[in-house]
């Protein structure tokens, strides 16, 4: 926005136009097909883009009809073929004749529940199915629409007050009880204008990420060591929080990141807090080393389906094929982390995804592989002590946070403790 030299009002409009269009892309394509009597692939790509941007302005933004159509036509004149200009004008005028709910009813008529939800909320069908299964595993399958809708609502910005360096009271944010993290607040405006954020003593961070990190530190350990490991530390958000917490507990912390550019981000994140060891190696190699750790955070690479509200493009980039390689990598990292865990130590397995293949299925795999030495701690009980207002089901030992329930990304957490030899 700065490079485009936009003021704050224009920047906000542009961001909503871009992100809102991406969030609703599938629905808008179906509406364009219905309004034009053409398949979307039969429309030239440049005209497609002009049309979806125009449809978003007409159906989801407070843009006057004449302005939305005129600007779209002008854009078509600049970016699309001459023959498409009249087509864009005609289609958008037809779209403007109905409101969004009427169009949704029209384009989802006669479809199955999953197919209709896929179009209405613009999520690929496989993601709708995965979310439904994940919700069902928690006994809340009837909340599928609330979850999908929450992914299409831009989240407010949350900031974490790094313990020992800042406090919630200093951040002047929204300190209402809805904040799930005791060290997090929602803020309005640009967080870069907050002095503590500029100093690196507070950071923009989803409160779900804060909670899973706090839970690891609160979990009881009987390990002889007092050293911690963040195995996949990039880009550095949880690493910075772990670093601050390690200083308060006189623990040593090793931060590892396999990708050099992400390791640089980790270095920048923790530099305002002090000096910490940063390694640049494949996390799967830790298990081959003799060093053992008392607490390990494995924030495993995943599909990122838990953060679709802040990264809406991910829903269109990810496919079921991605799961094959990711599940394999997650298990390899889990095995390495377990081998690196000292007796009595605690491993936090974390993903920003509710997909069962990346969450409870991986925990079940670990329990089967390490059944004689793995104790699954009750993460929900630990988090309820951190914030009783979370009201997590303590009948389940793993934690699944939800944007529509907790106001966080859909973070998953399992806490595994290694028995004492």
Matching residue, tokens 């309005």:
188
Closest CA to 247 of 348, 181, 164: 164
Q: What span, in angstroms and rounded, lies between the C-alpha atoms of 208 and 205?
A: 8
C-beta neighbour count of 222 within 10 angstroms: 14
For 348, residues 6+ apart whose C-beta sits below 8 A from its C-beta are 212, 213, 215, 216, 219, 295, 296, 297, 298, 413, 414, 415
Which amino acids are annotated catalytic? 352
User: Cα torsion at 205, 211, 214, 216 (round to 10°)?
Assistant: -120
Q: What span, in angstroms and rounded, lies between the C-alpha atoms of 371 and 384?
A: 26
Inter-residue contact 300 to 227 (CB < 8 Å): no
Tell how strand 277-279 and strand 252-256 pair up: parallel
Residue 309 — φ and ψ, nearest 5°? -70, -30
For 321, residues 6+ apart whose C-beta sits below 8 A from its C-beta are none
Q: What span, in angstroms and rounded, lies between the C-alpha atoms of 282 and 272?
A: 26
Inter-residue contact 79 to 71 (CB < 8 Å): no
Q: Is 371 buried (19+), middle (13-18) or exposed (0-12) by CB count in 10 A? A: exposed
**Which ranges of 39-99 does DSSP label H, i.e. alpha helix?**
45-60, 65-79, 85-96
Residue 8 — φ and ψ, nearest 5°? -60, -35
Tell how strand 293-299 and strand 227-230 pair up: parallel
3-state class (DSSP) for residue 151? helix
């Amino acid at each position: 926005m700065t490079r485009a030299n936009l003021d704050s009002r224009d920047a906000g409009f542009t961001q909503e136009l871009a992100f809102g269009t991406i969030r609703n892309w599938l629905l808008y394509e179906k509406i364009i097909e219905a309004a034009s009597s053409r398949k979307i692939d039969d429309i030239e790509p440049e005209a497609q883009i002009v049309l979806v941007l125009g449809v978003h302005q007409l159906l989801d933004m407070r843009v006057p009809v004449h302005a939305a159509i005129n600007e779209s036509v002008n854009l078509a004149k600049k970016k699309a073929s001459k023959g498409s200009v009249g087509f864009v004008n005609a289609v958008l005028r037809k779209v403007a004749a109905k409101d969004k709910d009427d169009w949704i009813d029209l384009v989802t008529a006669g479809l199955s529940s999953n197919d209709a939800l896929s179009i209405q909320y613009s999520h690929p069908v496989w993601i709708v199915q995965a979310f439904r299964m994940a919700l069902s595993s928690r006994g809340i399958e009837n909340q599928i629409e609330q979850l999908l809708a929450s992914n299409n609502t831009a989240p407010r910005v949350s900031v974490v007050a790094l313990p020992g360096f800042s406090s919630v009271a200093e951040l002047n944010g929204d300190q209402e009880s809805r904040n799930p993290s005791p060290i997090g607040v929602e803020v309005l405006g640009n967080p870069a204008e907050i002095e503590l954020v500029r100093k690196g003593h507070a950071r923009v961070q989803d409160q779900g990420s804060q909670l899973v990190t706090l839970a690891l530190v609160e979990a009881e350990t009987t390990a002889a060591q007092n050293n911690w490991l963040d195995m996949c530390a990039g880009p550095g958000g949880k690493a910075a929080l772990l670093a601050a917490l390690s200083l308060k507990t006189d623990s040593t912390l090793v931060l590892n990141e396999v990708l050099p550019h992400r390791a640089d981000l980790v270095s920048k994140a923790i530099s305002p807090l002090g000096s910490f060891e940063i390694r640049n190696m494949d996390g799967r190699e830790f298990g081959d080393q003799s060093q053992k750790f008392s607490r390990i955070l494995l924030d495993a690479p995943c599909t990122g389906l838990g953060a679709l509200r802040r990264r809406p493009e991910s829903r269109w980039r990810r496919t079921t094929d991605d799961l094959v390689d990711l599940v394999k990598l997650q298990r390899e990292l889990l095995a390495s982390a377990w081998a690196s865990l000292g007796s009595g130590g605690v491993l936090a397995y974390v993903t920003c995804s509710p997909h069962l293949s990346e969450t409870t299925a991986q925990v079940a795999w670990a329990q089967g592989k390490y059944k004689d030495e793995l104790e699954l701690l009750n993460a929900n009980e630990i988090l309820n002590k951190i914030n009783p207002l979370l009201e997590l089901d303590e009948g389940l030992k793993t934690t699944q946070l939800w944007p529509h329930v907790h106001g966080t990304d859909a973070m998953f957490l399992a806490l595994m403790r290694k028995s004492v030899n």
